[in-house]
Structure 1
Amino acid sequence: MTSELMDWDSIYRQEGAFEGPPPWNIGEPQPELAALLKAGKFRSDVLDAGCGYAELSLALAAEGYRVVGIDLTPTAIAAANRTAQERGLSKASFVQADITAFTGYDGRFNTIIDSTLFHSLPVDFGPNTVTEDELRAAVSKHWEIDEIRPAFIHASMDAAIPADAPFEMPTFENDEKGRQKMPAFLLTAHKAG
C-alpha cells in the first residue's frame, strides 16, 4: 500500500527504493527477537505488527504459538501466507491491514511484537528516528514498561542500496553473517493491571 512518502508494497515487490528484498527482512527472525523466543518470553496469542515476510511469526507458529501477523502490504501478506502453507503452519494467520485502524481482535493478544514498525508511524510520515523518551511516552500510556535497552536491527543494506543512490549510508558494525547492525531499542512491557 502507499502512503504519501513511502510505497511499502513496491518495496516488497522489489520495485521500490531498494535493489532486491527489503533489507530488514533477513530470511530469519531478527536475532534480538529470536533470543526472546529461545528464552520463552512470548505468550500466545501473539500479534506480530508490521510482520513483513513474517519470519518471526512463522518461527513462533513452528514452536506452537498462535500468531496473527499484520502488514500494510498485500505482497508481504501473500508471501507470509504462502510460506506458512508450505511449512504446514496452521497456527499462523496473516491479515493485510493498517495497524492504526486494526479492529476485531480486542483482548485476544498476550504478546505484541513490533520489529521496525513504530518508527514508520504515523504512516503518512514514513520512517523516522525514534528516541527512547518518545518510545517510553507512547507505550507507557497503555503498558507497564519493564525495560528499554539499546539493541540492533540486522539488515542487508549493502546489496539493497543502488550504486547511484543520491545519499551515502552511514557505516554500521556487521554481524557474523555480514549484515549491518543498525541501532534500535528493545522494549519489553506488560499490560497494566
Structure 2
Amino acid sequence: MTVEGMDWDSVYREEGDIPGPPPWNIGEPQPELAALIEQGKITGTVLDAGCGYAELSLALAERGMTVVGIELTPTAVAAARKAAEERGLSTATFVQDDITTFTGFDEKFDTIVDSTLFHSLPLEGRDGYLRSALRAAAPGARFYILVFAKGAFPAELETKPNEVDEAELREAVGKHWTIDEIRPAAIHANMPEMPGIPVPPFPRDEQGRIKMPAFLLSAHKPA
C-alpha cells in the first residue's frame, strides 16, 4: 500500500516502524530548496505547504520573510511553533489544517513551496490541494514542488509515498497552474537501516545522507 490511511501524527510522534523523525526531515531545508532561497527565487509572503517540522519556514523567517506553515499533524505544528518561539522568529506562524481543503488565505502568498508534501497526499487529495493552493496564491505567484520520482523506493516496500513520473506530475499540476519547468532533482534523507529492507543504492551527499530521485517543479499563477 502507499500513504492512503497513513497516521502522520504517529510518524511525527516517532511511533512508526522507522525510528526517529521522517527521514526527509534533515534539520535544515532540503538542498534543492535552499538553492532556490540563495538564488532569490523564494520571495514575498510564503506558504510552506505541509511544513512538517518547518525547517524551511524557520530558515525563511531567519531571513526576515513572512511565512505561514500549514500542516495536518498537531505534533509537527506544536514542534514548529516551539522552535519559532525559541528562536524569536515572529514572522513565522503555523496553522493546523488539511492542506487539501484549507481556506482563509485568498491571494495572500507570493510564493508557495511544497517540500516533500505532494507524494504524501492520497491520490484523490491532489486536485483539492492544487485548487486550494491556487486560491491562496496572489496573481503571478510562484509554486515549487519537490517530490519523489518513481523508483525512489523499492517496489516491494509495503508502505511508501506516492512517487510520480514527469508526465503524471505535469498532468496533475498543469490542470491548475502554468508549469515553467520540471527537472530531475534529489531529496536528501537520513535513511535508517531496517531489518529486511535494503538501503537504496543511491549516491550520498557530503554528510552521508542518501540523495533519492526526485523532481523539482516550478510553476506560476498567471498575473
User: Which TM-score applies when normalising by structure 1?
Assistant: 0.91
Q: 1:26 to 1:134 in 2, by over 3 A?
A: same
Count of aligned pairs between the two proteins: 187
Aligned residue for 1:175? 205
Cα distance between partner residues in 1 of 2:179 and 2:12: 32
Query: Could you tell me which of 134, 153, 164 is aligned with 1:130?
Result: 164
Cα distance between partner residues in 1 of 2:4 and 2:37: 35
Cα distance between partner residues in 1 of 2:171 and 2:80: 32
Cα distance between partner residues in 2 of 1:175 and 1:98: 33
Aligned residue for 1:104? 104
Q: Deviations over 1:87-108 (max 9, x none)?
A: 1111100011110111111110
Q: Is the 8 A contact 2:4 2:122 kept in 1?
A: no
Equivalence map 1:1-193=2 (5 Å): 5-122=5-122, 127-158=161-192, 161-162=193-194, 164=195, 166-193=196-223
Counterpart of 2:170, as a letter, is: R
Q: Deviations over 1:105-140 (max 9, x none)?
A: 111011111111111222789721111111111212
Structure 1 residue 27, shift from structure 2 partner: 0.4
Q: Deviations over 1:7-54 (max 9, x none)?
A: 111111111121111111000110010010011101221111111100
Runs ≥4 residues deviating over 6 A: 123-126
Cα distance between partner residues in 2 of 1:121 and 1:77: 18
Q: 1:49 to 1:91 in 2, by over 3 A?
A: same
Q: Is the 8 A contact 2:182 2:217 kept in 1?
A: yes
Counterpart of 2:209, as a letter, is: R
Q: Deviations over 1:133-172 (max 9, x none)?
A: 11111212222111110001100003xx43x2x4334211
Q: Is the 8 A contact 1:5 1:124 kept in 2?
A: no
Q: Is the 8 A contact 1:150 1:186 kept in 2?
A: yes
Q: Is the 8 A contact 1:47 1:112 kept in 2?
A: yes
Cα distance between partner residues in 2 of 1:141 and 1:45: 24
